[in-house]
């Protein structure tokens, strides 16, 4: 009898150990489940976006993309039916969101089933096993939306020999000059045109694009981030120009000494050997910028345009959950937060 009990106990132990090893979900006490730590998904239900998947990629040190993108994803999922997955720069040891972590954005495999990629990263240096999903997505010619620092989304400072170092914003690889920003979005990082932290941006719709559906319901954009320097945009349609304002409030006067530069545009792109795709880019988009209703509406409109859906006449872009964004600045991200903290109650 004792022999039988020992045998049963041994079999039970083997079964339990085997389950833990195969599932890969064993966590230290107090830690959340790994998949819960790494990204968050908002399931779309009814609405014009039903059946469409959008993947949002956050990861910047300064402009709080980890706050901005979950908010946008919630609006698109709950108000329009898109299924939205938000990825973050993650500390691999703790599972916490770490905006200063340049080389770990779990969940990029979600791009395999994505209809749209929305990217808001800065100087990321992702390893090949993650970066290959972005590369495959772009070679397939699928649509891209880039916010603010996406013009300089990647920077391979530590590993210049990496197979994806050509994505670097300073790339000199033939056919990849100035990297992802230039090749896909139309511009790389150049400089601040406005006085950073002292001048905001007043958006002015391009008169030549007033009939473009992307500008439906978009009439009053002011944001506290400054205008970026943007040069000639090859093959692009400028939607909105940005004027620098002499101050960080919406009623600050325009700085007439500085020319207006493009702050939102569309274009087509194609990687070597890849299919042609369409891109929308804006140099606005910090979490505090998205307090502005019309900027949120422009981005929602861009998502509809990108996936080939009719753009609403005036999209409902009211916040789904309370939104209290953090002012931009280095190392100002909220410590101790996990992707699961951005979940919504069903």
Q: If you average pLDDT over residues 293-311, what whole number do you get?
A: 98
The C-alpha atoms of residue 102 and residue 85 are separated, in whole angstroms, by 20
91 backbone dihedrals φ, ψ, rounded to 5°? -75, 115
Residue with tokens 């920077």: 155
Taking only the tens place, the pLDDT of each residue in 36-65 is 479 999 999 899 999 999 999 999 999 999
Question: pTM of the prediction?
Answer: 0.89
pLDDT the model gives residue 281:
98
DSSP state of 261: E
**DSSP strand pairing (276-282 vs 261-270):** antiparallel
Token pair for 278: 């369409």
Mean pLDDT, rounded, of the chain:
90
Burial, 191: exposed, middle or buried (Cβ in 10 Å; 0-12, 13-18, 19+)?
A: exposed
Mean pLDDT computed over 4-26: 33
pLDDT score recorded for residue 206: 98
pLDDT, one tens digit per residue, over 315-339 is 999 999 999 999 999 999 999 999 9
Q: Given the structure tokens 């990496």, which residue do they identify?
A: 162
How do 116-121 and 144-147 pair as beta strands?
A: parallel
Residue range 151-170, pLDDT digits in tens: 999 999 999 999 999 999 99
């Amino acid at each position: 009898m004792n022999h039988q009990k020992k045998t049963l106990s041994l079999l039970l132990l083997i079964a339990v150990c085997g389950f833990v090893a195969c599932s890969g979900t064993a966590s230290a006490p107090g830690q959340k489940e790994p998949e819960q730590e790494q990204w968050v998904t908002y399931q779309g239900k009814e609405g014009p976006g039903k059946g469409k998947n959008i993947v949002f990629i956050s990861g910047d040190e300064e402009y709080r993309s980890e706050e901005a993108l979950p908010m946008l994803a919630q609006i698109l999922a709950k108000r329009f039916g898109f299924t939205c997955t938000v990825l973050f720069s993650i500390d691999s040891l703790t599972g916490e969101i770490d905006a200063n972590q340049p080389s770990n954005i779990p969940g990029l495999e979600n791009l395999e089933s994505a209809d749209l990629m929305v990217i808001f990263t800065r100087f990321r240096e992702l390893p090949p096993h993650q970066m290959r999903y972005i590369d495959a997505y772009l070679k397939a010619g699928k649509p891209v939306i880039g916010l603010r620092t996406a013009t300089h989304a990647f920077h391979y400072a530590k590993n210049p020999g990496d197979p994806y170092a050509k994505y670097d914003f300073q790339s000199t690889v033939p056919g990849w000059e100035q990297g992802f920003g230039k090749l896909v979005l139309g511009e790389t990082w150049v400089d601040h045109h406005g006085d950073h932290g002292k001048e905001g941006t007043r958006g002015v719709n391009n008169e030549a694009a007033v009939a473009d559906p992307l500008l439906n319901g978009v009439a009053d954009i002011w944001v506290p981030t400054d205008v970026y320097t943007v040069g000639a945009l090859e093959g692009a349609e400028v939607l909105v120009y940005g004027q620098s304002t002499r101050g960080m409030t919406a009623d600050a006067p325009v700085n007439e000494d500085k020319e207006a530069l493009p702050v939102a545009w569309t274009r087509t792109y194609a990687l070597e050997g890849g299919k042609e795709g369409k891109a929308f880019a804006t140099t606005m988009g910090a979490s505090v910028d998205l307090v502005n209703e019309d900027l949120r509406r422009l981005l929602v409109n861009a998502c509809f345009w990108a996936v080939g859906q009719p753009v609403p006449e005036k999209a409902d872009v009211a916040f789904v959950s309370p939104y209290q964004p953090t002012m931009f600045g280095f190392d100002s991200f909220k410590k101790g937060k996990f992707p699961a903290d951005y979940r919504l109650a069903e």
